[in-house]
Amino acid sequence: MSVVDQEINRVSLVKDNLDFQQLTDLVAKPSETKTPKWWFIALAVSLSGILLLKSMLAYLFWEGVGIWGLNNPVGWGYAIVNFVFWVGIGHAGTLISAILFLFRQDWRTGINRFAEAMTIFAVICALIFPGVHIGRQWLAYWLFPLPNSMAMWPNFRSPLLWDVFAVSTYFTVSLLFWYVGLIPDLATFRDRAKTALKSKIYGIFALGWRGANRHWQHYEKAYLLLAALATPLVLSVHSIVSFDFAVSQLPGWHTTIFPPYFVAGAVFSGFAMVVTLMVLTRELFGMKQVMTLHHLECMNKIILVTGMMVGYAYGMEFFMAWYSVYEYESFAFINRATGPYAWAYWIMVSCNVISPQLFWFKKCRTSIPIMFVVSIFVNIGMWFERFVITVTSLHRDFLPSSWDYYSPTWVDVATFVGSFGLFFTLFLLFLKFLPIVAIAEVKMILPQANPHHGDNHEH
């Protein structure tokens, strides 16, 4: 052991000194053993959610956006709130897999697969909302620069168009990143498959991977490059999402703090969602040896940091509203905290700023029930953050005669609930059929994987 290792006394990232084979067995177990009953129940519930979502979308396509709660000053409601909420959740995966990879944070290996999957499913849910809010579905292709018989092209100076590019690029790159990471593990599943069909299906997607070092060489380079590409991408996506608001002239939206504030909020909500799901999965699928309490504690520290950043942004917005001496800006913020939507504002502050403060204490950071509850609070709070930003800025605009109060209709609520059905269906299928831990990557951080392991313990 080197002096550095002795001094630092690193926490072991995999419990019980598992060897390579035991680790493979552990990760492969959920897909090879009998499916537990709770999985089928959860899948049935999630599928009902999808059915609800589909029905609501069908109703929407038939009737038009009039069935939503939008009114005259509030032209943006649940659709954008849900979109930003889901995209935000989708930031944790790439942050864990790309940024923590570049920073050589070895603890990411236990949870990155899981978080990346969550990212992809969250972005799928997010993409539904801008896709359906346009009212005339048959013209959705106008969003893309496709040559058409009208010789018409999109307006490249619009932040809404930037958003189309940002989110679809993010989805594509996250999917590629996830798939590249999966290839060696799919090959593991292929080689362990008991039935010909399983071996064939995993085999097709494993692309004939055989663990050759001449392959690993390019593979590792590709992984590093993808991480390096995904890092600025993940920061750019939520920045561009925030441009949807910040580039407008509306008090409450027109602020330069939005891009970093949105990115911090996205990481905050994404990590909270990962903690929520991980607490359940490690329990239900017996992954405690790989997804350790140490992992959760690291996650909670990041939740605390990003929660503080978000809290700072809330405060700074008020400071700027006062410091700008711009009466409309001041009004927008005073109205936000004390107006008709004060209830939403204070839910947001309590959930996002106050509840994570518990994580200052190691007892709370390492307590499963507390972190589970806090992570749920953060999810709720971050949904309300987007609601507050969108609705409170719109509902009282420059002309008091047009002021109004926005409330969602049952269709709005049911569509949102249905999107959780889609998310959890995809997630449950992932848990059952794919390696939920990056097997090859976790093996790399085992002490036995070091080529000098067992050589000489004295140097």
Site for another protein in 241-300 (CB under 8 A): 243
Selected binder of another protein within 134, 191, 330, 350 (CB under 8 A): 191
Give the residue among 377, 344, 386, 384 at the shortest CA–CA distance from 358. Answer: 377
Distance between CA atoms of 93 and 226, rounded to whole angstroms? 13
Selected binder of another protein within 45, 55, 106, 215 (CB under 8 A): 215
In total, the chain counts a number of residues equal to 459
Identity of the residue, 203 or 421, whose beta carbon is nearer to another protein in the bound complex: 203
**How many residues bind to another protein according to rule CB under 8 A?**
71
Enter the tokens of residue 150. Answer: 């009208």
Q: Contact between 210 and another protein (CB under 8 A)?
A: yes
Per-residue contact track with another protein, 94 to 133, x per CB under 8 A? ----------------------------------------
Q: Report helix, strand or coil for 296.
A: helix
Enter the tokens of residue 8. Answer: 């630092």
Q: Contact between 222 and another protein (CB under 8 A)?
A: yes
DSSP secondary structure letters along 144-160: S----TT-----TT-HH
Selected binder of another protein within 11, 51, 204, 368 (CB under 8 A): 204
Identity of the residue, 452 or 457, whose beta carbon is nearer to another protein in the bound complex: 452
Chain centroid to CA 447: how far? Answer: 31
| Pair 345, 318: CB distance under 8 Å | no
Least CB distance from residue 116 to another protein, whole Å?
14
- The DSSP symbol for 99 reads I
Identity of the residue, 146 or 280, whose beta carbon is nearer to another protein in the bound complex: 146
Half-sphere exposure of 255 (CA within 13 A, CB side): 26
Selected binder of another protein within 161, 308, 309, 353 (CB under 8 A): 161
Per-residue contact track with another protein, 382 to 421, x per CB under 8 A? ----------------------------------------
φ and ψ at residue 17, rounded to 5 degrees: 45, 50
Interacting span for another protein (CB under 8 A) from 87-95, 223-231, 253-261, 384-392: 223-231
Distance between CA atoms of 264 and 261, rounded to whole angstroms? 5
Q: Contact between 15 and another protein (CB under 8 A)?
A: no
Site for another protein in 128-157 (CB under 8 A): 145, 151-157
| Pair 226, 180: CB distance under 8 Å | yes
Least CB distance from residue 261 to another protein, whole Å?
18
Least CB distance from residue 141 to another protein, whole Å?
15
| Pair 88, 80: CB distance under 8 Å | no
